[in-house]
């Protein structure tokens, strides 16, 4: 009887310590430098997996990356088919059904062009009667008043497609996050010259949205994220990711 009790305790202790599995969405098309795979490996690279690996290991959580598109992933997150994805609350259709971490990093959005922006000009002069390449399903609050007037929005499947459309003359501008734009310039278009608008469009936090069943994990994760931000570790990971393929130089000129 005593032996049975000891075996039960050992089995119970093992079951408590066993890693939980968290299904984390890897967007398709992918979004480097945040999360992406390479042709040479199925391993997921980028700022997000590298920043969070230590935390999930300590929590004994086994992260499984699930490929899905932006729209489909959000609906699967509501139902609990997946557990987490990169998503800001103001981009979600039903944010009240999800829980959100504090930001890992913040970024600024800019317009990018093949031509210099006129000195001293601003948004009111840039956009009327122009076409802007954007991401499908994305909400662009700063540009929405112009899209309701005579500015044309041209959606694409990825940031890489946005840049290609700009090069092909499909639009006068692309609207993009500075980190993604820098990575694309350096890794995909190193010989091309792009111009960044002198004005940005506010700071956006890179947050993780979870299904509510992970509520108990959120306070500890938020403490970890704030700790790593204060130490400068996340910024260091960002710069390392941007420099991965050689000597990094500023990606865009601002006139």
Residue 254 falls within a domain, yes or no?
Answer: no
Residues 98 and 112 both lie in one domain:
no
Residue 236 falls within a domain, yes or no?
Answer: yes
Cα distance between residue 216 and residue 163, in whole Å: 41
pLDDT of residue 19: 54
Residue 251 falls within a domain, yes or no?
Answer: no
Is residue 140 within 8 A of residue 175, CB to CB? The reply is yes
Residues 197 and 228 both lie in one domain:
no
The dihedral built from the CA positions of residue 202, 183, 172 and 113, taken in this order, carries a sign that is positive
Q: Which of 9-13, 19-23, 26-30, 237-241 is least confident?
A: 9-13
What tens digit of pLDDT does each residue of 145-184 get? Answer: 889 778 999 999 899 999 999 999 999 999 999 999 999 9
Residue 199 falls within a domain, yes or no?
Answer: yes
Residues 94 and 211 both lie in one domain:
yes
Indicate the pLDDT class of residue 250, thresholds 50, 70 and 90.
very low
What tens digit of pLDDT does each residue of 107-143 get? Answer: 999 999 999 998 777 777 888 899 999 998 888 888 8
Task: Give the CA count within 13 Å in the CB-facing half-sphere of 43.
Answer: 7
Residues 82 and 48 both lie in one domain:
yes
Residues 97 and 192 both lie in one domain:
no
Q: How many CB atoms lie within 10 A of CB 239?
A: 12
pLDDT of residue 242: 85
Closest listed residue to residue 111, CA positions, set 76, 78, 151: 151
Is residue 84 within 8 A of residue 74, CB to CB? The reply is no
- β-strands 20-27, 61-68 pairing: parallel
Residue 15 falls within a domain, yes or no?
Answer: yes
Residues 8 and 101 both lie in one domain:
yes
CATH classification of the domain holding 153: 3.40.190.10
Residues 42 and 67 both lie in one domain:
yes
Structural domains of the chain, count: 2
pLDDT of residue 43: 86
pLDDT of residue 40: 62
Residue 197 falls within a domain, yes or no?
Answer: yes
Enclosing H/E stretch for 240: helix 233-242
Tell whether the model's pLDDT for residue 10 goes beyond 50: no
Residue 20 falls within a domain, yes or no?
Answer: yes
Residues 117 and 184 both lie in one domain:
yes
pLDDT of residue 138: 83
pLDDT of residue 6: 42
Residues 213 and 226 both lie in one domain:
yes
Cα distance between residue 110 and residue 198, in whole Å: 8
Cα distance between residue 213 and residue 33, in whole Å: 28
Share the mean pLDDT of the chain.
Answer: 86
> Which residues form the domain of 178?
107-203
> 93-105 burial, b if ≥16 CB within 10 A, otherwise e?
eeeeebbbbebbb
> 167-192 burial, b if ≥16 CB within 10 A, otherwise e?
eeeebbbbbbbbbbbbbbbbbebeee
Report the DSSP beta bridge partners of residue 40.
none
Q: What is the DSSP letter of 139?
A: -
What tens digit of pLDDT does each residue of 67-117 get? Answer: 999 889 999 999 999 999 999 998 899 999 999 999 999 999 999 999 999
pLDDT of residue 24: 98
pLDDT of residue 245: 59
Residues 26 and 98 both lie in one domain:
yes
Residues 128 and 192 both lie in one domain:
yes
Residue 147 falls within a domain, yes or no?
Answer: yes
């Amino acid at each position: 009887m005593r032996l049975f009790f000891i075996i039960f305790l050992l089995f119970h202790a093992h079951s408590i310590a066993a890693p939980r599995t968290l299904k984390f969405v890897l967007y398709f098309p992918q979004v480097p430098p945040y999360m992406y795979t390479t042709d040479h490996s199925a391993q997921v690279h980028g700022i997000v997996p590298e920043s969070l690996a230590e935390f999930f290991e300590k929590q004994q959580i086994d992260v499984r990356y699930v490929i899905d598109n932006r729209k489909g992933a959000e609906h699967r997150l509501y139902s609990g088919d997946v557990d987490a994805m990169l998503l800001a609350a103001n981009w979600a259709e039903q944010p009240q059904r999800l829980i959100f971490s504090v930001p890992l990093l913040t970024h600024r959005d800019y317009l990018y062009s093949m031509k210099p922006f006129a000195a001293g000009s601003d948004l009111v002069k840039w956009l009327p009667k122009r076409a802007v390449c954007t991401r499908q399903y994305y909400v662009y609050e700063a540009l929405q008043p112009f899209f309701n007037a005579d500015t044309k929005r041209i959606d694409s499947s990825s940031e890489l497609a946005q840049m290609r459309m700009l090069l092909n003359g499909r639009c006068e501008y692309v609207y993009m996050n500075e980190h993604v734009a820098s990575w694309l310039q350096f890794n995909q278009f190193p010989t091309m010259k792009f111009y960044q608008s002198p004005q940005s469009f506010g700071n956006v936090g890179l947050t993780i949205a979870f299904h509510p069943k992970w509520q108990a994990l959120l306070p500890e994760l938020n403490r970890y994220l704030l700790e790593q931000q204060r130490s400068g570790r996340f910024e260091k990971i960002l710069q390392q990711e941007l420099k991965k393929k050689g000597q990094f130089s500023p990606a865009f000129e601002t006139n």
